[in-house]
Structure 1
Amino acid sequence: MELGSVVHFLENRTILVTGATGFLAKIFVEKILRVQPNVKKLYLLLRASDAHSASQRLHNEVISKDLFRVLREKLGANLNSLISEKVTPVAGDITCENLGVKDSNLVEEMWKEVDIVVNLAATTNFEERYDVALLLNTLGAKLVLDFAKKCTNIKMLLHISTAYVSGEREGLIVENSYYMGETLNGAHGLDIEMEIKVVGERLRELREEEATDGEIKMAMKKLGIQRARKFGWPNTYVFTKAMGEMLLGHLKENMPLVIIRPTIITSTFKEPFPGWVEGVRTIDSMIVGYGKGNMTCFLADPNSIIDVIPGDMVVNAMMVAMVAHANQAFAASDEMMIYHVGSSVANPFILICLKDYGQRYFTEHPWIGKDGKPVIVGNFTLLTSMDSFHRYMTLRYLLPLKGLELVNIASCQYFQGIYLKLRRKINHVMRMIEIYRPYLFFKGIYDDINTEKLRMVAGESGVETDVFYFDPKGINWEDYIMNTHIPGLVRYVFK
């Protein structure tokens, strides 16, 4: 593995980025424009009907974000000219041939110009419809590979997956590939073509039954969970991402392929400024629910390790991996490089600390609710078993709910309000428990020996490690959670 300057490597490169409106994609694009404005071209694939709609999405959902504040302050009016010169929004869809790009001249131009393809397009919803997740996360990965193979100057395909394709494995989880048909529970019969047929047959049955759109949606969600658990994965998201990896490894031929598997991605650690975040990720559900006064308990092992990593560190690892493996032909046709980007080995973060930091933060800095009053938070209870969880829910919510049901609440607006509030809280907590159950008592640790080697080689090669940092050992978790991550959530996520 040989490494040179990342900034120099990016100069005059033409990069295609799919999923351009996503969290990581925005950080990736902003970083390139800020550290290497002499990049040749960034083609950003956005789901849109035409070029005008794609341009609107680029400006409304990417460039206008506060993430670009540093670049905006640095360049002023010149930012618009930089964007128009270097960034080309592309209307498309990774679930279609040629990525759904209808402009044949643009397709030919991209095949001729693109050096690197970065596939960030995915649905990360644990409860996604199976037909949607299979199209985006599994077949979409194959269609991106097909497009990359047609690029005459292609140097590599960088595919972003997730560390949680490991399912509920325990112990040290190594950076190994998944092969076609491999399952986590030893079950036989995993065949991607068959999964496509299962989806098609179920959809046909539902249409014949004249099911409503809502019924079809629920049926597809249930089917995804059923198929995932049949083969050992806990949810539709990680199952379809694992199958996407299988297809890439099986079909890559001589394509240089690197797969990045981040763990739980959190707000930016340092660049372009600390604390920028979008959306609610796994641990953030607990923080947001508690801070808003909607959650007072959660089911989890207080001593379990939560593997989290800031978004800018993931992007920096992606960029250094690009330099390391561009043009690198692996020995075997199905061989690829896999990097776990996380913190559980180098700098483990314990769940009980998240509870303590959250309580301290919202006690000292309460969230101001819709009524203009601060939300007063109390003790956050971590329940360590399903039995204790059921006892807690019964005493705190279910018994009062039954009491209200014995009253003629229809005649009293006050009791109606209490009843509905209790019901919402119960539904919210139960849904969170069901979604995150596999990770609440997670016993796995993600080995990152490949990533550590990449860090070591980068340091020895004189790579700009101060600019492209991705070593979690440098994170003080208390300082980061209390002074960066939770304030970032409050500013950008709380509504």
Structure 2
Amino acid sequence: ISSVEEPSPGWIENFNGPVGIFVACGKGIMRTIHTKPDIICDFIPVDICAKNIIAGAWIRGTKPIEPTDDIEIYNCCSGNLNNMLMGDLVEMSKHVSKEVPLDGMLWHTGGTITTNPVYHYIKVLVQHLLPAFLVDTLLWLIGKKPMLVKVQRRIYIANLALSYYLTQQWTFDNTNFVQLRSVLKQADMKQFYYDLETTDLVEYFTKCCLGGRRFLLKEKDEDIPKARAHCKRMMILDQAMQVLFHAVFLWWVCKKIVQLFGIQSNLF
């Protein structure tokens, strides 16, 4: 996933991993994800992975090899060094998306975890596809190219492909990965030493979101104040729509109760 330091903090070139969740939630187009909140996320920054590969190659190239030696395997993963639950990751994505909002939000930042696949599918239809069809229809009417249904289709296919892995707990032994950094020479410590334990995850994922803006979406940092103002407007609109929806639903329930019991009222 996004880098910690090199080539620059938050550097990334694809939407894989949590950055994709941050971007989708930040744009307001992802409202549900099929996973479990208590699953431990095991992500590794790309620059730490690169350092591990180089250090492993150095050990392999300089160590005398005997026919009886075992092949060293380095699971480049965070393991229990500094991990996070999937539920915490989704909640953090909402927080970070408010601090570093994206340009052109379609709706307020959001997204919830859905553990039931059937309920998730229903939410995809109601919260993803239905709004996408409405937006694309409006775009078509004003002469612009529809695109949101296509985006939602890609999100759904990606979540469908990853659902098995996102609903299972995976545990990898990173003992060799941790021990490898202890054999680095003092002269190489500055360039190749990697430390996950002391990484501030909130600060790191904030930089990830900034990196997503810069390197994936090509959005300018100077536009962040405008994006924050737009984010606040979308939050107010979202809250207003929720109040309106619940008010209409309550009115409908009351009307049905009145009709059921034959109560006379001028309100209905």
Task: With the length of structure 2 as denominator, give the TM-score of the two structures.
Answer: 0.68
Identify the match of residue 287 of structure 1 among 13, 22, 26: 22
* Structure 1 residues 391 and 414, CA gap change in structure 2 (3 angstroms): same
**Residue in structure 1 matching 2:166, options 429, 440, 445:** 440
1:362-396: per-residue Cα shift (whole Å, max 9, x none)? 22332112xxxx54423312111212212323444
SS in 1 for 2:192: coil
Q: Which residue of 2 aligns with 1:353?
A: 88
Structure 2 CA distance for partners of 1:441 and 1:282, relative to 1, 3 Å: same
Q: Does 1:336 align with 2:71?
A: yes
Quote the offset at 1:443 in angstroms.
Answer: 0.8
Residue 379, structure 1, aligned to residue 110, structure 2: yes
Letter in 2 for 1:428: R
2:97/2:109 contact within 8 Å kept = no
Task: Supply the AA of the counterpart residue of 2:119.
Answer: S
SS of the residue 1:445 aligns to: coil
Quote the Cα distance in structure 1 between the aligned partners of 2:174 and 2:161: 26
Higher relative CO (Cα under 8 Å, sequence separation at least 6) belongs to: 2
Q: Secondary structure at the residue paired with 1:301?
A: coil
- Counterpart residue identity of residue 286, structure 1: I
Note if contact 2:100-2:209 (Cα within 8 Å) is conserved in structure 1.
Answer: no
Q: Which amino acid aligns with 1:392?
A: K
Counterpart in the other structure of 1:468:
192
SS in 1 for 2:190: coil
Could you say which residue in structure 1 is the equivalent of 2:243?
none
Taking the TM superposition and a 5 Å limit, the aligned residue runs for 1:371-450 are 374-396=105-127, 414=141, 423-424=149-150, 426-450=152-176
Question: TM-score scaled to structure 1, two decimals?
Answer: 0.39
Matched, 1:491 2:226: no
CA distance, structure 2, for counterparts of residue 400 and residue 316 of structure 1: 44
More strand by share: 1
Whole-angstrom CA distance in 2 between matches of 1:378 and 1:393: 16
State the Cα distance separating 1:360 from its structure 2 match. Answer: 1.4
Greater helix share, structure number: 2
Partner amino acid for 2:24? G
State the partner residue of 1:276.
11
Structure 2 distance, partners of 1:363, 1:401, is 22
One-letter amino acid matched to 2:168: F
Moved more, 313-322 or 300-309: 313-322
SS across alignment from 1:280: coil
Q: What letter matches 1:433 in structure 2?
A: N
**What is the CA–CA distance in structure 2 between the aligned matches of 1:446 and 1:423, rounded to whole Å?**
37
Percent identical: 23
Tell me, in whole angstroms, the C-alpha distance in 2 between the residues paired with 1:422 and 1:319. 41
Three-state SS of the structure 2 residue aligned to 1:308 is: coil
Please, which runs of 5 or more residues in structure 2 have no aligned partner? 219-268
Question: Secondary structure of 1:353's partner?
Answer: helix
CA distance in 1, matches of 2:71, 2:13: 30
The residue correspondences of 1:6-155 to structure 2 (distance < 5 A) are none
